[in-house]
Structure formats: C-alpha cells, structure tokens
Structure 1
Amino acid sequence: MYKFMLIAALAATPAAPAFAQSDTGQDFGRDAGPGYGATDGVSGFRAEPRIGYDRVITELNVETADDSASVREGKSGVTYGGELGYDMVVNTDMMLGVYGGIEGSSVEQCFPGTGTETCLTPGRNLTAGVRGGFLLNPNTVLYIKGGYSNGQIRIGYSDRDFPQDNFRVSDNLSGFHAGAGVQTAFGRNFYGKLEYVYTDYNGYEITDGTDKASLDFSRHQVVAGLGVRF
C-alpha cells in the first residue's frame, strides 16, 4: 500500500514527470609502553558513539509507452548513533571484525505541489556487517566494511484543499551498505575513526500495463566515531 501512496503523491508534484599488530617483536611491545600487550588495542569488544554528514538521495523514474522521465533529488543533514563490535587479529598485520549499529538522521526532504506537499524523512537505520583491515602500524588500521541495512522511511502527505486526503505513514526498507575508513588508538582503551559509507535500499516499483514507475533511495555518509575497547 505504501508504494502506491508514495509514488502517486510524488508523481502529482511538479518535481516528478586496530590498530596494534600481533606479536611481531620487541619494537611494537616497547612502543606500546609497559604492560600494554601487542594486540590489546585492536582485539576484543568495542562500543562507540558516532556523528557525521548524511546525504539522502531520492530517485523517481517513470516510463510509459511514449516517454520516460527521471527526477533525482538530494538532501543533506546530520547522522548520529552508535555501534557495537568485536575485532580480532588473525595474523601479524590483518584484523577481522563484526559489528551492529543504530542511527538516526536530521534529513527532511519535501516536494511541494499545487496546494500539496509530500515530505520524506529517514527514521532509524539498523546495520549489521563485517569488516577487515590492514595494520599500517601498531596503532592504526585501514579497513573496509559491508553488510545489511534496514532503514525506516516516514512519509507525510498534505493537501490544503482536500485535508481528508492527508496521511502519515512509515515503512521499512532493506538494503546493503559498503564503506572504508581509518582507525587509530589513543592509549590502551580508546580509539577514534573516520569512515565513508554508501547505502542502497530496495525501493518501490509499480507497473500498469506498459507504464512503470519506480522510487529508489540511497545515502552517502562521512562519519566520525570515538570509542572505547573492553
């Protein structure tokens, strides 16, 4: 039901036609300081708050027997949330880990029409995935990540002349994310990181004979995190 309501509403608007290395010698242990194990800073459980830049892209494509049209709109805001994970060193210079996270966003995207307005806002976004990294030095790891995403979209439609047609609903969209980042240790139990993440969600598609319309969502994020390792 949501996909018909959403695509119909948009189509009615003018816009639509690690860090430390495992034990490799005395140098790493000496650099880490007394009592600091060679893998203490990269192995084990971790938790972090995250905040950063979020850009949500909405793309509407309409195809008929005679014509086709595409509209792509982007809106930027702030993303915020947290992530839990577990990492382990698998040899002298490689790290593997798993993670799960939750985040929100300040983005709001509105499409005004003649007496109407359709607004899309992202709700909570859940992530789960794996990451793998290469230790650049005992305190810094360069990594890639990827996995499953489940994002909530909130849809609001208002009609000035026919308020009985107003509606506000939400729906969940599955998808995937992929990214890369760099992480460095601050002492034994703290770390900071900066990463880029791209997410693509499964959108909506409706077909009526030879006519077809699709609505897709994606996002680009640049996020900083400051975490603690247990």
Structure 2
Amino acid sequence: MDRDMYLRAGMPALAVLAAISLAAPALSQTSTAIPAKAYGPVWTGFYVGAAFGGGALVNKMNTSAGGASLGLDGLGSSGVLGSIYGGVDYQVLPKAIIGALAEATLSGFQSSATAQVPGAGATATTTAGLGWSVLGRAGFLANPSTLLYLVGGYTGQNISTSGTAVAGGAVASFSRNDTVHGWTVGPGFETMLTGGWSAKLEYRYSQFGTTTPSGTAINITPSTQAIRAGLSYKFGGLAAPSYDEQATAYRPEKTNWTGVYGGVAGGGGVAVNNVSTAFGGASTSITGAGQGLLGSVFAGADYQFAPQALVGVMGDFTWAGLQSTASLTAGGGNATIAAQANRAWSVMARLGYLPTPSTLLYAAGGYAGQNITSTATAFAGGASAFASQDNTFHGWTVGPGVETVVTGGWTTRLEYRYSQFQQQQILSGVGIQPETHTVRAGLAYKFGIGAPSPSIASE
C-alpha cells in the first residue's frame, strides 16, 4: 500500500478516537456559578510545555536523465526529537475542549545512501533539523482529568541535503538547505497530574512539499512520523464555563485494574530497513523506509499491587502493510524491488502509574518478531524475471502508552512502539537490519475491572 493510499484511508487511530467522541452523551450547556474545585480540573486557560520523543523520516525520491529514471519510495531513518510549545484551550462543553498551540521542534532524522566501486564512490545525505507548527486541536473528556484529542494544522521543516562523489581522483560535492511547508495531523491523550501540571502522549504524521536541490535533477518529497511525550503547565487565566451537570462534587471513583482483557487496535507506522550489499569490489549502503497501515488483536492481564501502580503482561499479533520500493527504468527495460513488513507479533511486560484512578500511564517492552517479504521483478527485451522470499526476524520492542476507562469494563488506549530486529543475510551478499516505528489506538474490554479490591480500597 503506497503512502497516497495511506493518507486517503486515514489513520485508524483517528477513527477510534472519533468513534469514542461521537458515542459521548449530549450534555446541557446551561451555566451556573459553580466553583471549579467542586467538579475537578478546569481545562480552560493558557499553557506551556516541553516534549521529547522519536520517530522516522521518509524521503520519496525520483530522478531522470536521458531515457533513464530512478524512483525510491523511500529513503528513511530513525531519530530523536525535542520540542517546546505553548497554547490555549477553552472548555466549550462539559466534555468538549477546543484550542490552539504553536511549537518549535529540533530533530535528528537523517537518511543516507552510499555506493562504492573500485576507484569511485558517492554519498548522499538528507537531514531534518529545525521544525515548527501552528495547530488547532479538539478533544473529548473521557473523564474530568483525561482528554482524548485530535491535533492538526500547518507545519514547516528545514531540510539539509548534501552529497559527495569521487571518481578518478576528482571530487564533486553539493550542500543545500531548504525550507519545506506542509501539514500535520494526529491523535493524543492528555491527563492532569497535580496542580496545573499535565502529561500528554501525542503522535503526528507530517507531509511536506517537494523540493529539488539546485544543480541536481533529484526531486525529494519528505514526510515524518513521530511520537512526543510532553509535560505541560496550565496557568488558567480565562473565564471557565461551568455547568449544571458539574454541580455535584467531583469524586474520582477508585477502580480496580486487576484482571484479564482483550481488544483490537488500528494505526500506522514506518518500517526502516538498513540494507547493505557487497559484491566483489563493489558495495552499497542504503536506508530504505516504507509507510503503511496496521491492525492488531491483543490480550493481557494486569495486577494492581498499589493504589497508583500496576504490573502486567500482554501479547499481540499485527497485520501490516509497511512497504518500501525502488524502481529503475533504462534502455528499454525496468526493474522493481520491494520489501514489505507484513506480519508481526510480540510478548511484553508493562509497568504503569495511575495519576487518576481511571487513567493509566505505562511503559511496555519485550520480545518482538517480524516477517518481511522481499520481491524483485525485472523486464528487458521481452523477457521477465520474478523472485520472492520471506524472512523472519527476531528482536525487541519498547514504548510508552496511555489507557483510560471509558465506561464499565471498556478502555481505550494510545500506544507507540519502537522495534528493532537482528541483522540477517537475506541473499548472498545482501544484509538487512529492520526497525519499525508504529502507533496504534485500541479499544479493550477488561473482565476484572470494577470496584477496588479490599487491599487497594483500604490503602
């Protein structure tokens, strides 16, 4: 599935959050003078914060000269990022928030490709550095302390491109900085901690316009997928609305998270494949990247051993379409190579903290497996050739998540995963080390959730 289909289909993560929002009951807008402390946190006001995270850069590249053309979808890399942001929210309904924010982000996403033959070599590098965004967001309060939201708007990014070629003792190089503009969108969870402090987990897909470095015939269309975990402080400062429904005092009910659960999730992500080849005196190194959708089923069990802490285990199976391709057309023939991460599975432990009785912040990690199908097709002079191979990779996965109780035993979650797998020879002289960045929004039913156990309730 190519990226255009990925965008048209939209992210299942957004659909899950939107479905939860639409299912919320309609609430009255009649105002009464009710102290904020009587019904829980007030979300109206200004805030500032900082976030840290990671993700992947994917560059779709194509070039042509004479009768030859080369297309790569895409070149990519993994990296980390840090950002600062500020914004304002307004609680328009008892369970609805709208707001606006701006942020600046510094990232370290860099993709590269190298090739060497006896007496010659070439290297090309693309780096995403400083970025900025102006965004709107709209959210639904799953409970007075936890906000599920969608965010989107304008984004800009500085892209640095450089390259060097050496042949016969001669050296040629280029370096260029470009600013690309585009849009960004994604889901997020935010939960109040204490006082004016809140924590959030937010995923973003960003798509930028095409740039062509001067002096080259290379067209580059970048996109990024990134996760941010942030800490914010809300100052207040706007007149907060109050409602009849909030007249009764807000008393968070203790919830027992101990029990088994099962669920489904949907989302998307990036597969980054570090590929190296060596044949005789020639070698190449390239970081390929493919984007796509995923769907998964999962199950697990949790044990709440303290009022604000739990441990658990879980496993999942995922179907994905994270595919990267490279195509070459020349001299009346063409060839295409594709690698698709299509199935994955994991067994993990998780450790969680409950800032409120109904919202869980957690970290999960453990074993992960991945199947990759590689295909190659060539046409020349009326003849054709095709090859396909499946390889299974083993490795580890880790990531943060947020889960909140919706109603009864139903919970919703947003979870990011970074997975890295071992390097493996898939063909003679061809090695690959895959890694993936994925986000998934899930809906689960916990069979044991309910009133706290006597040991928890008594604490």
Same fold (TM over 0.5): yes
Residue 219 of structure 1 deviates from its aligned partner by 0.5
SS in 2 for 1:188: coil
Provide the residue aligned with 1:113 in structure 2: 115
Provide the residue aligned with 2:407 in structure 1: none
**Residue deviations 1:173-225, cap 9 Å, x none?**
0000001100000122000000110000001369xxxxx96321101011100
CA distance in 2, matches of 1:228, 1:110: 39
C-alpha contact (below 8 Å) 1:41/1:229 kept by paired residues:
no
Is 1:175 paired with 2:182?
A: yes
Amino acid at match of 2:45: G
CA distance in 2, matches of 1:129, 1:51: 18
**Residue deviations 1:28-70, cap 9 Å, x none?**
97xxxxx736575411111111111220001113478977643
Aligned residues: 198
Higher Rg: 2
Relative to structure 1, is the Cα distance of residues 22 and 80 closer, same or farther in structure 2, using a 3 angstrom cutoff?
A: farther
* Percent of pairs with identical residues: 24
Amino acid at match of 2:196: N
CA distance in 2, matches of 1:172, 1:205: 11
Q: Which moves more between the two structures, 57-66 or 72-81?
A: 57-66
CA distance in 1, matches of 2:106, 2:163: 21
Provide the residue aligned with 2:91 in structure 1: 89
CA distance in 2, matches of 1:37, 1:106: 45
CA distance in 1, matches of 2:69, 2:38: 62
Counterparts in 2 of 1:20-99, with a 5 A limit? 36=37, 38=39, 41-62=42-63, 69-71=70-72, 72-99=74-101
Q: What's the TM-score, normalizing by structure 1?
A: 0.76
Q: Which moves more between the two structures, 134-143 or 56-65?
A: 56-65
Provide the residue aligned with 1:217 in structure 2: 222
Amino acid at match of 2:110: E
CA distance in 2, matches of 1:185, 1:214: 45
Provide the residue aligned with 2:454 in structure 1: none
C-alpha contact (below 8 Å) 1:48/1:226 kept by paired residues:
yes
Is 1:131 paired with 2:143?
A: no
C-alpha contact (below 8 Å) 1:121/1:155 kept by paired residues:
yes
Output the aligned Cα RMSD: 2.9
Q: Which moves more between the two structures, 39-48 or 140-149?
A: 39-48
List gaps (5 residues or longer) in structure 1. 1-20, 30-34, 207-211
C-alpha contact (below 8 Å) 1:22/1:39 kept by paired residues:
no
CA distance in 2, matches of 1:127, 1:228: 19
Q: Which moves more between the two structures, 101-110 or 135-144?
A: 101-110
Residue 109 of structure 1 deviates from its aligned partner by 1.3
List gaps (5 residues or longer) in structure 2. 1-26, 236-459
Amino acid at match of 2:182: G
CA distance in 2, matches of 1:47, 1:88: 15
Provide the residue aligned with 2:164 in structure 1: 158
Relative contact order higher in (CA < 8 Å, ≥ 6 apart): 1
Residue 166 of structure 1 deviates from its aligned partner by 2.0
Relative to structure 1, is the Cα distance of residues 74 and 42 closer, same or farther in structure 2, using a 3 angstrom cutoff?
A: same
**Residue deviations 1:117-172, cap 9 Å, x none?**
11111110010010000011110010001000110001122234433x32322110
Relative to structure 1, is the Cα distance of residues 116 and 61 closer, same or farther in structure 2, using a 3 angstrom cutoff?
A: closer
Higher strand fraction: Structure 1 or Structure 2? 2
Amino acid at match of 1:224: A
